[in-house]
Structure 1
Amino acid sequence: MTAAIYGRDIMTDGEHLVPACPNETQIGVRIGLSVVIIALRGHQAVVLTTHAPDGAAALPFGPFDPVKDRTFELALRDFVAQQTGFPLGFVEQLYTFGDMGRASPRATPGPVAAREVSVGYLALTTGSHADTRHDARWTPLFDIFPWEDWRKGPPALLDTLRVHLLDWAGQDAKRRSRAETLFALAPECRWNEEKVLERYELLYEAGLVAEAARDNERDAAILLNDLPMTSDHRRIAATALGRLRSKLKYRPVLFDLMPDEFTLSSLQAAAEAISGLSLHKQNFRRGVERNALVSATGRFATDTGGRPAELFRYAGPDINGGSAPGLTLPGQR
Structure 2
Amino acid sequence: MSQAESEAAFLARYDPADYARPAVAVDLVLLGLSGGRPTLLLLKRDRHPHAGRHALPGGFVGIDEALDDAAARVLREKAGGARAHLEQLYTFGAVERDPRMRIITVAYLALLTEAAFAEARARAPALIPGAVAASPAAEGSVTVHAADGAALPLAFDHAEIVALAIRRLRGKLDYSEVGFALLPELFTLRQLQDVHEAILGTGLNKPAFRRRMLDRGWLDPTGRFETGTSYRPAELYRLRQTSSQTPSQTSWQTPAQGD
> Of the candidates 297, 300, 309, which is equivalent to residue 222 of structure 2?
297
Match of 2:104 in 1: 117
Identity %: 32
> Of the candidates 45, 48, 58, which is equivalent to residue 52 of structure 1?
45
Match of 1:99 in 2: 94
For residue 269 of structure 1, what is the amino acid of its counterpart? D
> Of the candidates 59, 63, 66, which is equivalent to residue 62 of structure 1?
59
Mapped partners of 1:89, 1:312: distance in 2: 20
Listed as ranges, the gaps of 5+ residues in structure 2 are 1-13, 144-148, 246-259
TM-score, normalised via structure 1 length:
0.60
Match of 2:28 in 1: 35
- 3-state DSSP of counterpart to 1:312: strand
2:164 pairs with 1:239? yes
Match of 1:90 in 2: 85
Q: What displacement does 1:315 show?
A: 1.8
TM-score, normalised via structure 2 length:
0.75
Mapped partners of 1:119, 1:287: distance in 2: 34
Mapped partners of 1:282, 1:304: distance in 2: 22
Range with bigger deviation, 86-95 or 248-257: 86-95
Count of residues in correspondence between the two structures: 220
Q: What displacement does 1:58 show?
A: 0.7
- 3-state DSSP of counterpart to 2:207: helix
Q: Deviations over 1:53-96 (max 9, x none)?
A: 31211100111121x42x01101211231122134532221221
Kindly indicate whether structure 1 or structure 2 has the higher relative contact order, using CA contacts under 8 Å at least 6 residues apart. Answer: 2
Q: Which aligned segments of 4 or more residues in structure 1 are displaced greater than 4 angstroms?
A: 8-11
Asked whether the 8 Å contact 1:37–1:122 carries over to 2, the reply is: yes
Q: What displacement does 1:34 show?
A: 0.6
Match of 1:79 in 2: 74
Q: Deviations over 1:216-273 (max 9, x none)?
A: xxxxxxxx96432001111111111111111101101111111111111111111111
Asked whether the 8 Å contact 1:50–1:136 carries over to 2, the reply is: yes
Q: What displacement does 1:28 show?
A: 4.4
Listed as ranges, the gaps of 5+ residues in structure 1 are 1-7, 12-18, 21-26, 151-191, 204-208, 210-223, 324-333
Q: Deviations over 1:154-202 (max 9, x none)?
A: xxxxxxxxxxxxxxxxxxxxxxxxxxxxxxxxxxxxxx4xx2xx433xx
Asked whether the 8 Å contact 2:44–2:128 carries over to 1, the reply is: no
Mapped partners of 2:92, 2:157: distance in 1: 8
Q: What displacement does 1:276 show?
A: 0.9
- 3-state DSSP of counterpart to 2:140: helix
Change in 2 beyond 3 A, CA 1:38/1:284: same
